[in-house]
Chain A
Amino acid sequence: MLSIKNLHARVEDKEILKGLNLEVKAGEVHAIMGPNGAGKSSLASVLAGRENYEVTEGSVTLDGKDILEMAPEERAREGVFLAFQYPIEIPGVSNINFLKTALNEIRTHRGLDPMTAKEFLQKSKEKQALVEFDAKLVNRSLNEGFSGGEKKRNEIFQLAMLEPKLAILDETDSGLDIDALRIVSRGVNKLRSENNAFILITHYQRLLDYIVPDYVHVLSDGKIVKTGGKELALELEEKGYDWLK
C-alpha cells in the first residue's frame, strides 16, 4: 500500500529525514518508536504534505500513486489520514460542519454522492459510540477548549468518520488516561481491516499491548535503524535506544 524509498527531507536547511525506507501492506499495523527529535513527526508531516518540509530525494507512493506531487487535501482524499500529535484549536469552525465538509469532499473524490443530513447524523452517532466521543464535543468549535485527551479522541473520531486507507497516529496515546487509551485502542482495532493500514508513532509499548503491531521500527536520526516484531518494543522499553546507535 505505502512504499517509502530512500526518503530525504529537510526543513529550513536542516536535514531531518536521511534516507528512510518503509513498506506497509494493506491490513498491517506498523509501530514506529524512537528518541525525541529523531524525525517521527517529521515523517508524518511529510506524508501528510506539510508545506515547510522539502523532500530532496526519494519517493513515496500510495497504491502506486506518487503522493509527494499531491496537495495535502488530495492526499487526504486518496486516503491518507494523520492524527496529529498536537491537534490545533480552530475557534468558530464547528466540529461537525467541518467533518461533514471533509467527508463529502472525500466522497465526491471517490465518485460517491454527498451524504444527506440524515445519513451523516446516523454515521456520526455510530462512530461517536465506537470511540465513546462525547456528543457535546461534537457540536463545539473544532478542538476549542478541549482537554488534551479530548483532542486526541477527536482525532480518532475523525479517523472513524473518514475511514482512510492509511492512518498515521502520531503519539495519540500520549495524554490519554488509562480508560481513554483502552477505548481508543478498541476503536482502532474495530476499524482495522484487510483494506487499510496503520502507522502508530509512540513512545510507550503499553499502547502496543492493546493494538498489536505486525512490525516495530526504530527511527533514529532520520532513518529506520531497526525493525522487528512486537517483542522489539519490550526490548526497547528495557534497554532504551543507546544500544542501537
Chain B
Amino acid sequence: MTTKQLESPLYESLQAQFEIVSLQDQHEATKAYRAQAMETFRALGFPSIKNEEWRFANVLPLVKTTYEVSADKNAQISEDALAQAKALIAAHKEDILPKLKGEEKGAYRLVTINGVFSKELSFLPDNAGITISTIGEAVDHPGYQEYFGKIVTLENNAFASLNSAMFTDGLFIELKANTVLDMPIHIIKVKLASGNALFQPRNLFIVRKNAQMDVIETYISDADNEAAILINGVSEIALEENAHFFHYDIQKGCKNIRKIQRNEAVQQKHSNYSNYTFTFPGSSFTRNNLTIHLNDEAIESHLYGLYLTAGEQLVDNHTEVHHKKPNGESNQLYKGIIMDKSKAVFNGKIYVYEDAQKTNAFQQSNNVLFGEQAMVHAKPQLEIFADDVKCSHGTTIGQLNKEAIFYLKSRGIGEEQAKQLMVKAFAFDVAEKIKIPALRSYVEEMITEEMKGH
C-alpha cells in the first residue's frame, strides 16, 4: 500500500465478507461485476488525506471502527424492528414534511428498514408506468441489464468500488416512457442497529423518454443509538430523452451516522436532472459525490446544495459535471452556513469536452462562517477544452453582514432572531428552487429550528 491508502482492520474483514456476498449472488453478470469492483477496491484501498480528493475528509476514524457487515441478502424484518421503525416513522412524519405525510395525499411513501423494503409501511403508486423493486429482484429487468454498473465510475473511487463489490440491498425504480408521476415518491430509509453496522445500499433510477418524477430521500435512525452506522451508498441514475427527474436528498441523521454517498447520472438529449442535496446538523461525517454526464446535446442539469452544519460535523460535497456535447447547460448553486466547530468542504469540477461548444456552465459556492472555529474549504476546478463556451464560477466565504444585523436589531428584533432572518435570507435563493411547497417550508422551518441557540 502507498501512503495514499489507509491500513485498517475493516479492510481485512471486508475481504472475508466479500467471499460470502459473492457466494450468495446467483446472478452471473452481477457476480462478475462484484469481482471486478473488489479488484479495484483492493488496488485503491481506503483513501488517506494525502489523496487530493480526500484532503479535508479524514476517513480514518470511520475505517478504524469495525462494523457488522450486513451480508445477508435475504434478510427479513423482525417484528421488533418493524415496531421500532413504525414508531420512528411516526415521529419522523410529525417532524418532517407535515404536509407530505404520504397518507394517500401529498406523496407516495417507500420505506426500507436496514435496506429491506417494507411493503407494509409503504404507500406506492398504482401506476403501470412505474416499476419499483429491490435491486436484487431487478436483475432480469431489461433496465437493470442496460444500466446497472454502467453509470458509476469505479476508477479512483474506493468507496464506490466497495459498494459495487458488496452491496446487498437497494432499490430499483424505473419510470416507463411518457409516464408522469402525479406525486413525489418519499423514500424513507430507517437504519436500526444494536452494534456498529455498515450499510451499502445500491440504487438504480431509470427515467425513460418523456417521463417525469420527483423523489425525496430521507433517512432516520434511533437517536439514542450509540452504535456507529456507516452508510456507503451508490445511486446510478439514467435520464433518457426529454426525461425530467427532480431528486431531493435531505440529510439529517443522528450523530452516530456516517455517510458516504455517490450519485452519478447520465443524461440524454433535452433531459433535465435537478439534484437538491441539503444537509442539516446530525450526522458526524457526510461526504457527497455528485457526478453528472451530459452525454448528448441540449441537456439541463441543476445542482443545488445547502449545508447547515453544527457541532463537530464534517460535510463534504464534491461535484463533477461533464459537458460532452454542444448546447448543454449546467447550474451549480451551493450555499453553506457553518456553525460551531463544524467543517464544510465544497469542491466543484466542471469539464467541458472539446465537442461541447456553446456550453453554459455556472457554478457558485457561498459560505457563511458562523462560529470562531467553523471552517470551510471551497474550491472550483474548471477544465475547458472547447472554445465557444460560457463558464463562470464564484466562491465566497464571509460572515453575516453586521450592518444588516444592526438594522434588524434597531427595530427591536433580538440577536438570535436577526441572525435567523439573515440566514434564511442567505439560503433563500436555494430554498426557492425547491418545487414542492411542503418540502420548501419544511426546509425553511428546519433552518430556523437548527439555528436556535446559535
Contact = CB atoms under 8 A, between A and B. Distances in A.
Interface of A: 48-51, 71-73, 75-77, 81-82, 84, 87-88, 90-93, 97-99, 101-103, 105-106, 109, 141, 158, 162
Given A50-B406, A72-B406, A92-B429, A102 B422 contact: no
A13 B47 CA distance: 52
Nearest to A78: B412
A98 B411 contact: yes
A234 to B, nearest CB: 33
Contacts, number: 76
B413 A73 contact: yes
B417 interface: yes
A77 B424 CA distance: 23
What are the nearest 7 A-B pairs in CB distance? A92-B425, A76-B412, A92-B428, A102-B411, A72-B409, A73-B409, A105-B412
B426 interface: yes
B407 A76 contact: no
A76 B411 contact: yes
B412 A102 contact: yes
Contacts of A82: 410
A102 B413 contact: yes
29 contacts: A49-B409, A49-B410, A50-B406, A51-B406, A71-B415, A72-B409, A73-B410, A73-B411, A73-B413, A73-B414, A75-B410, A76-B409, A81-B411, A90-B404, A90-B408, A91-B425, A92-B425, A92-B426, A92-B428, A93-B421, A93-B424, A93-B425, A97-B421, A99-B411, A102-B408, A102-B411, A102-B413, A103-B412, A158-B411
B425 A106 contact: no
B410 A93 contact: no
B421 A77 contact: no
A3 to B, nearest CB: 21
A115 to B, nearest CB: 14
Given A88-B403, A92-B424, A98 B412 contact: no
A51 B381 CA distance: 40
A73 B412 contact: yes
Q: DSSP majority for the B interface?
A: helix
Interface residues of chain A: helix, strand, loop or mixed (majority): helix
Interface string B387-422: 000000000000001111011111111110110011
A76 B407 CA distance: 11
Contacts of A99: 411
Given A92-B429, A101-B417, A109 B406 contact: no
Contacts of A49: 409-410
Given A93-B421, A98-B421, A88 B404 contact: yes
A67 to B, nearest CB: 13
A39 B275 CA distance: 53
Contacts of B426: 92
Nearest to B428: A92
B263 to A, nearest CB: 28
A105 B413 contact: yes
Contacts of A91: 425, 428
A71 B418 CA distance: 13
Nearest to B407: A88
B415 A73 contact: yes
Nearest to B432: A92
A127 to B, nearest CB: 14
A73 B419 CA distance: 13
A71 B429 CA distance: 31
Contact of B422 (A72, A76, A93, A158): A93
B412 A84 contact: no
B411 A162 contact: yes
A90 B425 contact: yes
A87 B403 CA distance: 10
A93 B407 CA distance: 12
A51 B422 CA distance: 18
A101 B421 contact: yes
Given A92-B424, A93-B421, A93-B422, A98 B406 contact: no
B412 A77 contact: yes
Nearest to A103: B412
A98 B246 CA distance: 32
Nearest to A161: B411
A103 to B, nearest CB: 8
Contacts of B408: 90, 93, 98, 102
Contacts of B406: 50-51, 72
Nearest to A106: B412
Nearest to A79: B412
Nearest to A109: B412
Contact of A84 (B407, B418, B421, B424): B407
B80 to A, nearest CB: 46
A144 to B, nearest CB: 10
A203 B195 CA distance: 74
B413 A101 contact: yes
B410 A72 contact: yes
Nearest to A97: B421
Contacts of B407: 84, 87-88, 90
Nearest to A108: B412
A26 B413 CA distance: 25
B424 to A, nearest CB: 7
A81 B408 CA distance: 12
Contacts of B417: 101, 105
A142 to B, nearest CB: 8
Contacts of B414: 73, 105
A59 B424 CA distance: 37
